[in-house]
Chain A
Amino acid sequence: MSMTTSSPYVARDTLTVRVELIRQLRRRRTLVAFGLAVALPLIVVAAVKLGPQSRGFGDGDLDLVGLATAGPWNFTLTMLLFSSGFLLTIIAAMFLGDTVASEASWSTLRYLLAAPVPRRRFLRAKMIVGLLLTAMTLVILVAVAFLIALLVFGSAPLTSPLGGAFDVSTSWQRLGIVTAYIGIQLLIPGGIAFLMSVLTDVPLGAVGAAVVIVIVLNILDAIDALGDLRRLLPTDYGNAWSGALGQQIAWDDMAIGASYALVTFAVLAGVAILRFDRKDILS
């Protein structure tokens, strides 16, 4: 056995985003999330085309769902409406909630930190990859929904539920704004889950706690008696992207919602970093 001296250590080469992405991509839950994003639009299209009342859905309604089959942009926005409330929330909570906790449960956390991966660098890679996977799921959902609707419903540009229709470039612009806004809103469940992931060593606990918190926020948001107090809930702005569907884009609520989500994530992630800095790794 030949013996040489230890290899040179470079802190900024530890746990790069690329390596972390490879570590996460082949996980079953990653593939399941991507699969759901592919399957949901296909299932909805199949239901619309093959269901017993295959005239479309939401007939007689003057809202987004009622116009879902008007064209690919309308359909994609409807898919986003369907999935933004719960599916994407859970996926964001999953991708950011088991970042640290799953490493703890596999016992890999102590080996990475003793390698040593500096703790903040570890969280950085975890956070970036968690956000990246969430964004990838969102993009896959949008792309699949658009393509299947293009095949099935034709290529008519966006019809606004508030009246009027847009040209193609405006349709793209509006779809882009809505997708970006929904992505930013996912920072809220993501941020909660990320903090939880640092606080607990149980991955399901972190994801579950984040989802429960978001559900409780949504329930509070549904209680009319709370009145304007609900404006203080970060989840109150979840559907503010509908402001992008009018002839003029109503930025007000979207600006508040996006800002609120950013700040919420920054604060939660900040607390997570400070907590992880000082955490005794006992897993």
Chain B
Amino acid sequence: MRVIAGGVACLALMIGWAGVPQPALADVQPVSMMLDGGPISATDPAPVQIDADVYIPEATPAPAILLAHGFGGSKEGTAEEAQTLAEAGFVVLAYTARGFGESTGSISMNSPDFEVADASALVDYLGSLASVSIESPGDPIVGVGGGSYGGALALLLAGYDERIDAVVADITWNDLETSLFAQSALDGVQPGVLKSLWTSLFFSSGLGLTPGAPVSECGRFTEQWCNAYVEAVTRGQVTPESAALMAASSPRSITDRITAPVLLTAGQSDSLFPLAQANANAEQIVNAPVKVVWHAGGHDGGIAETDRLRALSLAWFDQHLSSGPAVGDDFEISLVEASALSDRDPGTVEVLSAPTYPGLFGDATTEMAVAAPTQQVLAPAGGAPAAITSLPGAGGLASLAGDLLAVPLPGQTAGFFTEPLEQSMRIVGSSRARITVSSDRSMDDAVLFASLRVVGANGRQSLPQGLVAPIRIRDLGTEPVTLDVILPAVVTEVAAGDRLALVIATTDQGFRMPLGPAVYTIAAEGPVLLPTLEGSTATAGTPPWAWPIGAVVIVALVWLIVALLRPRDPGRDARPDLSQVPLATQDLAKEFKGGFRAVDGVTFQVPPGIVLGLLGPNGAGKTTTMRMAMGLIRPTSGDTWIFGEHVRPGAPVLARVGSFIEGPGFLPHLTGRQNLDLFWRASGRAQGDPHLDEVLEISGLGSAIDRRVRTYSQGMRQRLGIAQAMLGLPDLLVLDEPTNGLDPPQIREMRQVMHDYAASGKTVIVSSHLLSEVEQTCSHVVVMNHGHLIYSGTVVDLLAGRSGLSLEAVFLELVGDGHRVDQ
């Protein structure tokens, strides 16, 4: 048991060392209710009904947090985060925005008059709760958080409602128009290129279409938004009314009014609201502290850093609502390290930190020249086939994009390559390039997609985060137009030896493209400007060298434990008085598991220079006694001495004993001679003389000694086993059924061998079931039965007074009825 306990302790130590996750706290159960929001519409002042869950923490009054969900979601989507925040001590109000789920009203895309008014009404409600801490009556201490649609709501609310004290906005927009109609040319025309796939996905997720329900064109959208959408996707246009709607729903309109500290987190893997949108928010919020995080997730999937972001927003609220410890205002960037073993593996994230947020263009710029041959590309009629870069909404599939792009569409792509990098480089932000473009026809809208790709040593291209920069050029003719292109902001490490490529393509299936064909002539002007950033590893965990040191300490500890637990043989001293006695036992007993006592209180001594027979029926305990004498089995109690030395496992005195117990044992793949040789060399007596010739003569194997043991008969193995026991001519020979499998002449020979052996002053203990054999060979016998010693003495004494009886008859008399001699 001690051994097992030691092992368990070591394992526990090991597991504890690797870090055990903390158990979750008790759940805080929410209370669901319908709360009054803002007016239903411009013409109907009745309040909409907002479906909300309120979480009250254990200790109140406490600061409150308003949680807004993403587009197409509901309060259920934020329940887990609400739970976490409530457990951390905040009153949390998670609600479903108007037009979604159980809430009434129509979707107005975070309009200040409606969704923002709803949120303000919820802040009113929080201010009325006794469980919420307040600054002044009606002004609760309250933060607001959300992602995507909810993130924009959070920013807009902070702009319109001065009572907001902290904001967390994830993967959201700054300007809805530039998000959906992207334009990457500096000072390029607006609107840009419609992200048709994303826009359609976005809109359809707001339609609330469910199987079996009646379908409608506008679903739960307001009429204005529905019209704006139809206008955009059917004609690719933005009417003044649509532009005004989008502007009102954009944080851009109120960013200068925000005074509450804002945590802006943006996803690198986001072709809907790319890092540039978060960058615009960060640059425009000038009246409040801002912390910017570029994490590895986003609308395209990437690597979700949910746990880290939740911990960060909790810390942010904690600092600004509960005077918790300060969160560093450093810029945090997730660097995705791809897996070398599989490009299906999303890779791992390392978080870097820079003291200040440098914006889109890094804290330093590296110029790299590109080969600039003028190239012609085709914009195919109908805009198809189109390149596939990102797959909106595909999540994990997004990593596939890099692969798909490995094969650029021929004729539709112009590439401008740098020389191989001399040293590796970390690009953090938007690269910039200048290109000139002309068309083969006059005065037509042109759409191009620019990207920065990494080209490996084997020529394969990868597109960081699958992002492209769409460009729309109005009325492009044969006259070349020069454009400054701002490429997508990415975080990527480019290895030394790899090249970069500025790639201009004419198609991308995620966007609305002109239907007319055209051939464009494209040239790169000047170098590509690459943003770089000195970052340090932010999460300083355990340094790598600490692990091996810890391991060595634990290994040493295990070593120590094992050394300390070495089996002791306390108080079992040698018995010099028995130094001439080959074998002596004293009260020897062995109880096996289950309580079976195989040997029970056996005491006898074997005088030197004799052959002693060990007799007993099946199960008498003969073999167990022999094994205990050889240190193979530990006695439960009692002792054994060989030549006065106490026997324990591996006792050196065992070297004076040759044994043959329960059949021979050899390595079947080696010859008899090799077996004897290796056994002798393994026995620690190699400096002495094995007397190999004499032993081989006794074995009588002849030339078979050089055959593999695998080919031996039972009798040959038996003889080889006895030969092995006699190697080095030990002072005591213990033989268990040595004559099994031998023929009569060999048996007689064996009898002579034992006789001669004893005559030289050595001792032989032999167990045999052939009682006549024993009678002829042995001068002494030990008789056992049921684990008890029945007789120990000379054969002569045993037979004395039983005149005329054979040993067999006396034996049967001793062991009683119902027993037969070993067969």
> Are A26 and B340 in contact (CB-based, < 8 A)?
no
Stretch at the interface among B308-316, B482-490, B527-535, B628-636: B628-636
> Are B630 and A114 in contact (CB-based, < 8 A)?
yes
Answer yes or no: B343 CB below 8 A from chain A CBs.
yes
Known A164-B495, A263-B14; contact A115-B457, beta-carbon cutoff 8 A: no
Whole-angstrom CA separation of A53 from B706 in the bound complex: 52
| Closest-CB distance, A2 to chain B (whole angstroms) | 8
Stretch at the interface among B162-170, B228-236, B372-380, B682-690: B682-690
> Are B663 and A107 in contact (CB-based, < 8 A)?
yes
Whole-angstrom CA separation of A251 from B21 in the bound complex: 23
> Are A26 and B670 in contact (CB-based, < 8 A)?
yes
Report A-chain residues with C-beta under 8 Å of the C-beta of B541: 252
Whole-angstrom CA separation of A20 from B776 in the bound complex: 41
> Are A81 and B341 in contact (CB-based, < 8 A)?
yes
0/1 interface trace, chain A 4-34, chain B, CB 8 Å (1 if under) = 1111111111111001101100111000000
0/1 interface trace, chain B 751-767, chain A, CB 8 Å (1 if under) = 00000110011100000
Counting contact residues on chain B (CB < 8 A from A), the size range is 35 or more
> Are A9 and B341 in contact (CB-based, < 8 A)?
no
Who on chain B is nearest to A125 by CB?
A: B682
Who on chain A is nearest to B460 by CB?
A: A62
0/1 interface trace, chain B 733-774, chain A, CB 8 Å (1 if under) = 000000000000000000000001100111000000000000
Stretch at the interface among A38-46, A93-101, A137-145, A270-278: A270-278
A6 is contacted by which of B454, B555, B663, B688 (Cβ under 8 Å)?
Answer: B688
Answer yes or no: B516 CB below 8 A from chain A CBs.
no
Report B-chain residues with C-beta under 8 Å of the C-beta of A23: 667, 670, 678, 682
Report B-chain residues with C-beta under 8 Å of the C-beta of A22: 678
A115 is contacted by which of B6, B462, B561, B683 (Cβ under 8 Å)?
Answer: B683
0/1 interface trace, chain B 152-164, chain A, CB 8 Å (1 if under) = 0000000000000
Report B-chain residues with C-beta under 8 Å of the C-beta of A106: 665-668
A267 is contacted by which of B11, B402, B627 (Cβ under 8 Å)?
Answer: B11
Answer yes or no: A131 CB below 8 A from chain B CBs.
no
> Are B21 and A117 in contact (CB-based, < 8 A)?
no
| Closest-CB distance, B341 to chain A (whole angstroms) | 5
Who on chain A is nearest to B734 by CB?
A: A114
Answer yes or no: B796 CB below 8 A from chain A CBs.
no
Report A-chain residues with C-beta under 8 Å of the C-beta of B460: 62
B679 is contacted by which of A111, A259, A278 (Cβ under 8 Å)?
Answer: A111
Report B-chain residues with C-beta under 8 Å of the C-beta of A8: 685, 687-688
Who on chain A is nearest to B661 by CB?
A: A110
Stretch at the interface among A202-210, A212-220, A224-232: A224-232
| Closest-CB distance, B401 to chain A (whole angstroms) | 12
Report A-chain residues with C-beta under 8 Å of the C-beta of B21: 228-229
> Are A263 and B633 in contact (CB-based, < 8 A)?
no
| Closest-CB distance, A138 to chain B (whole angstroms) | 18
> Are B18 and A231 in contact (CB-based, < 8 A)?
yes
Known A110-B665, A114-B631, A115-B682; contact A266-B724, beta-carbon cutoff 8 A: no
Whole-angstrom CA separation of A106 from B675 in the bound complex: 12
Whole-angstrom CA separation of A262 from B341 in the bound complex: 24
| Closest-CB distance, A30 to chain B (whole angstroms) | 10
> Are A159 and B458 in contact (CB-based, < 8 A)?
yes
Answer yes or no: A223 CB below 8 A from chain B CBs.
no
Report A-chain residues with C-beta under 8 Å of the C-beta of B731: 5-6
> Are B458 and A67 in contact (CB-based, < 8 A)?
yes
Known A64-B340, A114-B654, A263-B555; contact A19-B689, beta-carbon cutoff 8 A: no
0/1 interface trace, chain B 562-580, chain A, CB 8 Å (1 if under) = 1001110000000000000
| Closest-CB distance, A186 to chain B (whole angstroms) | 16
0/1 interface trace, chain B 478-509, chain A, CB 8 Å (1 if under) = 00000000000000011111100000000000
For chain A, the count of residues having a C-beta within 8 Å of the partner chain is 89
| Closest-CB distance, B137 to chain A (whole angstroms) | 45
> Are B496 and A63 in contact (CB-based, < 8 A)?
no
List A133-153 residues whose CB lies under 8 Å from chain B.
none
> Are A6 and B665 in contact (CB-based, < 8 A)?
no
Report A-chain residues with C-beta under 8 Å of the C-beta of B24: none
Who on chain A is nearest to B649 by CB?
A: A119
Report A-chain residues with C-beta under 8 Å of the C-beta of B497: 163-165
Whole-angstrom CA separation of A44 from B482 in the bound complex: 53
Report B-chain residues with C-beta under 8 Å of the C-beta of A254: 544
Known A6-B729, A270-B558; contact A245-B340, beta-carbon cutoff 8 A: yes
Q: Which residue among A62, A256, A278 has the maximum number of chain B CB atoms within 10 Å of its CB?
A: A62
> Are B548 and A164 in contact (CB-based, < 8 A)?
no
B341 is contacted by which of A27, A114, A118, A242 (Cβ under 8 Å)?
Answer: A242
Answer yes or no: B30 CB below 8 A from chain A CBs.
no
0/1 interface trace, chain B 627-663, chain A, CB 8 Å (1 if under) = 1001111100000000000000111101111010111
Whole-angstrom CA separation of A254 from B551 in the bound complex: 13
Answer yes or no: A235 CB below 8 A from chain B CBs.
no
A242 is contacted by which of B340, B552, B682 (Cβ under 8 Å)?
Answer: B340
Whole-angstrom CA separation of A258 from B549 in the bound complex: 11
Known A111-B665, A231-B18, A266-B558; contact A117-B683, beta-carbon cutoff 8 A: yes
Answer yes or no: A108 CB below 8 A from chain B CBs.
yes
Answer yes or no: B19 CB below 8 A from chain A CBs.
yes
Known A163-B498, A245-B340, A250-B337; contact A267-B14, beta-carbon cutoff 8 A: yes
Answer yes or no: A255 CB below 8 A from chain B CBs.
yes
Whole-angstrom CA separation of A267 from B552 in the bound complex: 12
Answer yes or no: B809 CB below 8 A from chain A CBs.
no
Answer yes or no: B669 CB below 8 A from chain A CBs.
yes
Report B-chain residues with C-beta under 8 Å of the C-beta of A6: 655-656, 685, 688, 728-731
Answer yes or no: B713 CB below 8 A from chain A CBs.
no
| Closest-CB distance, B772 to chain A (whole angstroms) | 25
> Are A282 and B633 in contact (CB-based, < 8 A)?
yes
Answer yes or no: B382 CB below 8 A from chain A CBs.
no
| Closest-CB distance, B87 to chain A (whole angstroms) | 19
Who on chain A is nearest to B659 by CB?
A: A114
Whole-angstrom CA separation of A252 from B541 in the bound complex: 9
Whole-angstrom CA separation of A28 from B761 in the bound complex: 44
Answer yes or no: B545 CB below 8 A from chain A CBs.
yes
Whole-angstrom CA separation of A4 from B544 in the bound complex: 62
Whole-angstrom CA separation of A22 from B681 in the bound complex: 11
Report A-chain residues with C-beta under 8 Å of the C-beta of B546: 255
Answer yes or no: B3 CB below 8 A from chain A CBs.
yes
Who on chain B is nearest to A277 by CB?
A: B567
A256 is contacted by which of B493, B495, B547, B678 (Cβ under 8 Å)?
Answer: B547
Answer yes or no: A92 CB below 8 A from chain B CBs.
no
Whole-angstrom CA separation of A215 from B713 in the bound complex: 41
Answer yes or no: B550 CB below 8 A from chain A CBs.
yes
> Are A9 and B649 in contact (CB-based, < 8 A)?
no
Report A-chain residues with C-beta under 8 Å of the C-beta of B627: 110, 280-282
Answer yes or no: A264 CB below 8 A from chain B CBs.
yes
Report A-chain residues with C-beta under 8 Å of the C-beta of B213: none
| Closest-CB distance, B579 to chain A (whole angstroms) | 14
Whole-angstrom CA separation of A12 from B731 in the bound complex: 21
Report A-chain residues with C-beta under 8 Å of the C-beta of B685: 6-10, 13
| A-B pairs with lowest CB-CB distance, top 5 | A7-B688, A164-B495, A107-B665, A9-B655, A3-B760
Please give the residue numbers on chain A whose beta carbons come within 8 Å of chain B beta carbons, in ascending order.
1-16, 19-20, 22-23, 26-28, 60-64, 66-67, 70, 81, 106-121, 159-165, 228-229, 231-232, 239, 242, 245-247, 250-252, 254-256, 258-260, 262-264, 266-267, 269-271, 273-275, 277-278, 280-282
Given A117-B650, A161-B341, A278-B3, 13 more pairs with CB closer than 8 A: A7-B685, A63-B340, A63-B341, A111-B679, A111-B724, A115-B655, A116-B654, A117-B682, A118-B649, A165-B497, A242-B339, A281-B633, A282-B633
- For this complex, 7 residue pairs linking A to B, each with C-beta atoms less than 8 Å apart, are A6-B656, A23-B670, A61-B343, A114-B657, A164-B424, A242-B341, A270-B10
Please give the residue numbers on chain B whose beta carbons come within 8 Å of chain A beta carbons, in ascending order.
3-4, 6-7, 10-11, 14-15, 17-21, 337-343, 402-403, 406, 424, 454, 456-458, 460, 462, 493-498, 541, 544-548, 550-552, 554-555, 558-559, 561-562, 565-567, 627, 630-634, 649-652, 654-657, 659, 661-670, 678-679, 681-691, 694, 724, 728-731, 756-757, 760-762
